[in-house]
Amino acid sequence: MKRIISLILTFTIFCCSTVTAQEEKKQIGTDAKSVVLMEASSGTVIYANNETEKLSPASITKIMTMIIIFDYIHSGKIKLEDLATTSAHAKSMGGSQVFLEEGEQQTVETLIKCIVIASGNDASVTMAEHIAGSEEEFVNMMNKRAQELGMNETHFEDCCGLTDSDNHYTSAKDVAIMSRELIIKYPEVFKYSTIWMESITHKTRQGESEFVLSNTNKLLKTNQYVKGLKTGSTSKAKYCVSTVAEKNGVQLIAVVMAAPDYKARFLEAEKLINYGFSNCRFYKDSSKHMQNVKIAKGIKGTVKTASDGFSYVDTKGNNLEKIKSDVILKEKITAPIKKGDVVGKVKYSLNGSPIGETDIVAKENVAKTNYIHEFIKVLFLTLQID
């Protein structure tokens, strides 16, 4: 009898969990072949379906192109005001383009707008050649960067996603990873991805002409929380989008790949975003836990320390005001100490269960004491005696 009751309970739990999962899928929508919903600051995946399947990414390839461009800007190797020249190869790109002419020069910033707003394939190749000398070498840089980010289901063959090669692929999970890298490391991309429409000026031997860039992410017009990021479509990839939205301090990345039509990708992205905002609560500890920690055998008795930032995403409706933090320092901290050395941890818990931790690190160098310092210290103390 006990065994029968146990089996009935197990079956009931299984049925309930199955129904819940089915209801969740129904609530979000699964017309696309692959989707991922990620909380940006922590990288927490809130929802995923078929997220590791290798699929053709079309123009959302350009997210990695933008990462490389901003890498070079921030390293000082190129500047926004630098001029890049369009080659015959760049001009020959089909698909989405801004109709750059061979020999035409545009600033790096203008080309960024052409890539982010209008998804210009010709602009992408122009920037690839400007940075690496050739598109092929630039693509090698893209693949190396993808490996560094742990994008295990990704391989690029061009910088714009126009190719139909089976060897050019990524997954929804990897798109979320590179989208997060772009917006967290280079948030200035939102300066461009939120532009709905803007004109550029073509300056060629035929004279000057205006060209209007129109944003390919239509959610910018229909959803007040959307801030970008990149769309893509080819006959092979179907319809894709990586969308970033922010509300009440929660920033979400919704990736939709291989949606059946133009409207479906935006509909499913919006469903993911709405689901995330409804079920996602964000906690961030900004206190930094700055303090002076006692040390042994140093030229001074304490070292300045602080913790890294900590964030946590809850999708179960918990009261985040009940999150507790405990500072735990190493039992004995001895000089010499270098800036960045880990001297302890801040551990976080919710309702008695651990939810994460962050390092407490030294914010300065402290050298080890020697006989001279000890002699001076003793002499100083002696002189202080009345």
The radius of gyration of the chain's CA atoms, rounded to the nearest angstrom, is 27
Burial of 163 (0-12, 13-18, 19+ CB in 10 A): middle
Q: Which two tokens stand for residue 329?
A: 């320092």
pLDDT of residue 309: 82
Backbone angles phi, psi at 285, to 5 degrees: -100, 110
What is the pLDDT at residue 13? 45
The model carries a pTM of 0.80
Q: Of 348, 359, 311, 309, which Cα lies nearest the Cα of 326?
A: 348
Tens-place pLDDT, residues 245-266: 999 889 999 999 999 998 999 9
Look over the chain and give the mean of its residue pLDDT values, rounded to a whole number.
Answer: 89
Give Cα separations from 121 to 39, 116, 159, 238, 282 (angstroms): 29, 11, 8, 17, 37
pLDDT for residue 31: 84
Cβ atoms of 305 and 290 within 8 Å: the answer is yes
Beta bridge partners of 294: 302
Closest CA to 217 of 117, 340, 338, 339: 117
68 contacts 137 by C-beta, under 8 angstroms = no
Distance, in Å, from the CA atom of 172 to the CA atom of 48, rounded to the nearest integer, reads 9
DSSP 96: S
Contact 70, 60 (CB under 8 A): no
Spans in the chain with pLDDT lower than 50 = 5, 7-26
For residues 17-32, one letter each, b for 16 or more C-beta atoms within 10 angstroms of the residue's C-beta and e for the rest, the string is eeeeeeeeeeebbeeb
Give the Cα separation of 36 and 31 in Å (integer). 13
In whole angstroms, what separates CA 17 from the centre of its chain? 31
Q: Which residues are catalytically annotated?
A: 59, 62, 119
pLDDT, one tens digit per residue, over 163-185 is: 999 999 999 999 999 999 999 99
User: In this predicted structure, what is the pLDDT of residue 381?
Assistant: 59
In the chain, what percentage of residues exceed pLDDT 90?
A: 74
What does the block give as tokens for 127?
């920037």
Q: What is the DSSP letter of 95?
A: S
Tell me which H or E stretch contains 316. none
Q: Transcribe 133-169 into DSSP letters.
A: SSHHHHHHHHHHHHHHTT-TT-B-SSSSS----TT-B
